[in-house]
Structure 1
Amino acid sequence: MSIAGTCAMNGLSLHERPSDAAGSWRIALPHSAAAVPVARALVRTALAELKHVADSDTAELLTAELVANAVEHTSGDAPIELVVELRPTGCRIEVHDPDPTPPGDLTRPSGAEPDPWQEHGRGLLLVRALSSSCGHRVTEQGKAVWFRLAAVPPQRGPRPT
């Protein structure tokens, strides 16, 4: 199924601007836990449709973390926005939410080890560790939290003999 078909099926807003080697999508997601699997599916579909060279599993995981944080740590029912930009050099994914408060520990680790017995507290650590860069910026409606993944070099196979 195409990314447009996935969005239509889920009643989501999609603005698509594809080009030769890149694409850009801005998608409004519901302010609920249901947004997490939809966001993962949209990122997976976008990367697969364009045969993009960024690591899809990592992109899905980090997207899920940012969307889950946006849903959990912001109040109200304003939609969460997912922005996916695919470029030949990698991808950039942003999650917009209505709260301008910066995400804690995104660009600077707190120094404290996450409690292994707690369910929460590792999401931003994963974003920092697995992305090539990450950050946040204030927007007119709140903030955008983003990460970049560099393109994965093609795997080299054995040399023909």
Structure 2
Amino acid sequence: MNGPALYERPAASASWRIALPHSAAAVPVARALVRTALAELDHGADSDTAELLTAELVANAVEHTTGDAPIELVVELLPTGCQVEVHDPDPAPPGHLTRPLDTEPDPWQEHGRGLLLIRALSSSCGHRPTESGKAVWFTLPTVPAQRRRA
């Protein structure tokens, strides 16, 4: 078959690691980094979903950890997709990330849906301990070229 390959992805991986302030200002910075990384490398992961889920991870790290130690954003782009991790100093695992809630979220509450979104929209997610706390992560697959928006 002659012609462009619809599933062609970058052969090499790329990764970024950046310290972010322990404040709400970290959320738009994290979103911009993910958006720029995916656009600059013409990566096939869904940028809108990656931005949304990154914002949820960073907002959770800022809201649910104490102190002013920076949080860390790690973005890894692979030929098969992308993985985003947020490192924070609290070793406690995030509630309900890898298991469903026993009850539905209250539709009138402003909070409480971030982990649900991460579980629902990522191809996988989880958390792991680190030397200084924990890392919470999600992965998104590469979207075939014919399914991406023009």
Indicate whether the TM-score tops 0.5: yes
Q: 1: CA distance between counterparts of 2:38 and 2:109?
A: 32
Aligned length: 138
Equivalent residue runs for 1:9-158 within 5 Å: 21-155=12-146
CA distance in 1, matches of 2:44, 2:11: 14
**Aligned-partner SS, 1:57:** helix
Measured in 1, the distance between the counterparts of 2:108 and 2:11 equals 47
8 A contact 2:11–2:79 mirrored in 1? no
Task: Give the match's secondary structure for 1:155.
Answer: helix
- Which stretches in structure 2 are left out of the alignment for 5+ residues? 1-9
- Runs of 5+ consecutive residues of structure 1 not aligned to the other structure: 1-18, 157-161
Between 1 and 2, higher relative CO (CA 8 Å, sep ≥ 6) is seen in 2
Cα deviation, residue 110, structure 1: 1.7
TM-score, length-scaled by structure 2: 0.90
Give the root-mean-square deviation of aligned CA atoms: 1.1
Identity, % of aligned positions: 84
Q: Distance in 2 between matches of 1:60 and 1:111?
A: 27
